[in-house]
Structure 1
């Protein structure tokens, strides 16, 4: 009986470790050049080699994080770092809400906390250009933006009613081996608010409203990429302290030469 119990416990521990390893797994992304949505003055942006999390950060991973760093728990976090929507669906500081899956992406998390989470893992949030570079891939091509099927897939997700409790890995694995960039949640980037700053490749986008109307098209390089317009609009409308039910994050890591 004791042997069977030990065997059961060993299998359970192995499965738990395997799930944790799969969630924190990273893949290497070979850098290159690409033309971002806004890039009239400097069309091509160069991306260096880096690693990216295969999946968004989950409720389980984030729960473990805030247990170790109580300052980010809902009852302790300073208002300057999070609004009232921060982890609003959770029952308490360390208990998820009803029907929330441990394997679903964590949402309602501010940029400040997402940034610190990645830093504590020895990682960082992706830049907009890094995120877009990886996200323009489909299953077989590093850049599928010209394909009608690719754009239809993304737009179909934008149009669907959202539950934001689907588990990681529920969408396709792209060319780089990354899941869930489209079809699960939006994701924070390190420089999400750079769409509002004059300079570099997004020089022509100078305020939030430009991203929601026809003036946005003036500086765009791909007028048919409505999905990208949507992403830039979201980024341009949020502030670092916001917690949105459809906004999560994942981490990246530089590849040292």
Structure 2
């Protein structure tokens, strides 16, 4: 009887891993004070949206490339993914030592965007991601808490050479979303517009708008250093680029 009880206790976690990629959390949106300054404004307005509860895993992305073979690493066009794309897998459609429950990494923006489109979604915007990531386990906006900021910075300070944990192990934040911090960096749809300069003489430069869109051009919340690090990392990438600690999750509009 005890053995049966233990098996029943373990069952929900297994189901969550298998179905987590299709689990979506609804966020209400509204006015949100960004750490970034958008053309002399820091308050952005977000429509309600849904976000996947946790990052996309190797197992889920494997199912995607099996059904969309043009995204296999041996078939994908070089303009859509660099040579390191899915290089941690044993083969084009075999995981090997890459565990199914780990977040998928070494995936380009183009591939991540295609995956989300196949799920009826899209990559989240930076503002949507920042809004969801501002919460801790009990508060929808914990950014003013120095202890919470230090906890996030502690993750950024750790070497990224260790094997990634399984996705979905962290406690959900106040929105019900997991792994926003402490697991992998994540692509956003508008990553290429996140150009940040600390030099006010550079603000309003027409060339920046010409090449980088109407992106974030300054950051006033200097205490939120973790956000600055993430923005700097994303803005340094190209859409076909990949890294060993960069994954993604999908968003979608509320119908």
**TM-score bracket for the superposition, by shorter chain length:** 0.7 to 0.9
Q: After superposition, where does 1:45-60 map in structure 2 within 5 Å?
A: 45-60=44-59
CA contact 1:38–1:204 (8 Å) conserved in 2: no
Q: Could you list the per-position Cα deviations for residues 127-177 of structure 1 after superposition, in whole angstroms to 9, with x for gaps in the alignment?
A: 000000110111111111110111011100011122252101222311100
CA contact 2:85–2:242 (8 Å) conserved in 1: yes
Distance 1:196 1:15 in 2: 40
Q: After superposition, where does 1:187-198 map in structure 2 within 5 Å?
A: 187-196=186-195
Q: After superposition, where does 1:128-139 map in structure 2 within 5 Å?
A: 128-139=126-137
Distance 2:14 2:185 in 1: 27
* TM-score, normalising length: structure 2: 0.84
* TM-score, normalising length: structure 1: 0.83
CA, structure 1 residues 219+47, in 2 after alignment: closer, same or farther (shift >3 Å)?
same
Distance 1:144 1:197 in 2: 23
CA, structure 1 residues 236+22, in 2 after alignment: closer, same or farther (shift >3 Å)?
closer
**Helix, strand or coil at the partner of 2:95:** coil
Q: Could you list the per-position Cα deviations for residues 201-254 of structure 1 after superposition, in whole angstroms to 9, with x for gaps in the alignment?
A: xx66987xxxxxxxxxx9322111110110110111000000111100000111
Query: How far is 1:15 from its partner?
Result: 8.5
Runs of at least 5 residues in structure 1 that lack an aligned partner in the other structure? 1-12, 208-217
Distance 1:127 1:237 in 2: 17
Query: How far is 1:14 from its partner?
Result: 9.9
For residue 242 of structure 1, what is the aligned residue in structure 2?
Answer: 241
For residue 103 of structure 2, what is the aligned residue in structure 1?
Answer: 105
CA contact 1:164–1:184 (8 Å) conserved in 2: no
Query: How far is 1:42 from its partner?
Result: 1.5
> 4+ residue runs of structure 1 moved beyond 6 angstroms?
13-16
Runs of at least 5 residues in structure 2 that lack an aligned partner in the other structure? 1-10, 198-202, 209-216
For residue 74 of structure 1, what is the aligned residue in structure 2?
Answer: 73
Distance 1:79 1:88 in 2: 14
CA contact 1:101–1:165 (8 Å) conserved in 2: no
CA, structure 1 residues 164+118, in 2 after alignment: closer, same or farther (shift >3 Å)?
farther
